[in-house]
Each structure stands twice: as C-alpha cells, then as structure tokens.
Amino acid sequence: MSETGFRPAAVEIGYAWPGLREIVALPLIGLLATVCLGLWATNEGSANLIPAVLCVFCGVGTAWLGGSVARAAWRATRGRPLLTLDSEQVVLHSARVALPWSNVAEIRIVNRSPDGQTAKLIVFVPVDADRAVAGLRGMSRRFARSGMKHVGGPIFVRPEDMTSPFGEFLNAVRALTTVPVRPAIDPRTAGRIIGRR
C-alpha cells in the first residue's frame, strides 16, 4: 500500500533493449561452440564419441536458450511485459513463472549500488520452494528450479533488463505488497547464472 492508500491494480514492466542485446550474444556463442564441436566430432572422416556427445548437449542447450531469447525479443517488439506485479502475484513472462505473494518470503536485492539506484539482481525468494514449482512443467520448471538452486528464487531479474528504473520498481512493489525487500546476506547468491559484470 502506498502512502496515499492507493493500491494499483497491476504494474507491467517491459523489456529493456540494452539488456536483450546482451543476452542475444549467448545463443550465438552456443551456436559457434556447437559447430566447432561438430567439426571436431567428424574430424578426418571418423566419428569421435566425446566431442559428438558434447556437440549434442551444446546443441540442445543452444536451442533452448535461443528459443527463450527469441520469445523475449518477440514479446519486446510487441510491447508485451517482462514482469507483471498485481495484488495477488508476480509473473515473469519470459519464463512463464508465477509466484503468489503468499508464497514470497522476501524480495532479495543482490549487490545494491552505494547510491541505491540500481543492483545486480532482484530475486523473489519463496516461502515454500516445492509449492513454487508444483504447477510448472517443461522449461518453466527447469528455469524455476535452476533459479532456486543458484540465486535463491524461481523468479529473478536484472534491473538493466527492465524498462522501469530500479527505484520505481521498488515503489511499485511496496505499493502492492507488504513482502519485505532486503539486501542479500551473501553477495555470492548472484551465483553462476549472471556471472561477473
């Protein structure tokens, strides 16, 4: 609830193009690695088992990542939201993962800047991890489980991926829910998903 007592029905946060441009490079790197492994696997006309297996795994991972990036780009070009917050839940549309506020223990801010204007990662930490993934299937379930393993929550987003400034995002959260917003206890919770910047 905001200071004026007004609670917005919903807040939609769009995709920021600078953030999308960064992640587009990942499937391209994966594609290059797949091609190199494929060439290695068929070197000199004979099949090599280890590079062939690596090529398959790399190809599958690249296809999954490429599909996710393509979907995000498609949604961005049509003005669809990246994230929706309403009085009932938060939804990360790019991964098709939703988390009701009743199952959000805290919103964890990882590596907030000294001036408070941005951060490295925003994580929605669940009260019950099993319930958070109970209704998910396929890529959405894998995304959520990976997020909980590496950063502590099934929904996580980088501020630079959002069209809304970090401060406005925090104001929207506070207007919609009483879930606490806290800094990460251990900065390493950023994990391997986003790496070093």
> pLDDT by residue (tens digit) across 15-54?
775 555 555 566 667 777 777 777 777 775 556 677 777 7
**pLDDT at residue number 57:** 73
**pLDDT at residue number 101:** 95
Residue ranges in the chain modelled with pLDDT below 50: 1-4, 6, 186-197
Asked if 133 and 141 touch (Cβ cutoff 8 Å), the reply is yes
CA distances from residue 94 to 74, 76, 188 in whole angstroms, order as listed: 10, 10, 24
Query: What's the rounded Cα separation, in Å, for the pair 61 and 31?
Result: 9
**pLDDT at residue number 168:** 87
pTM: 0.66
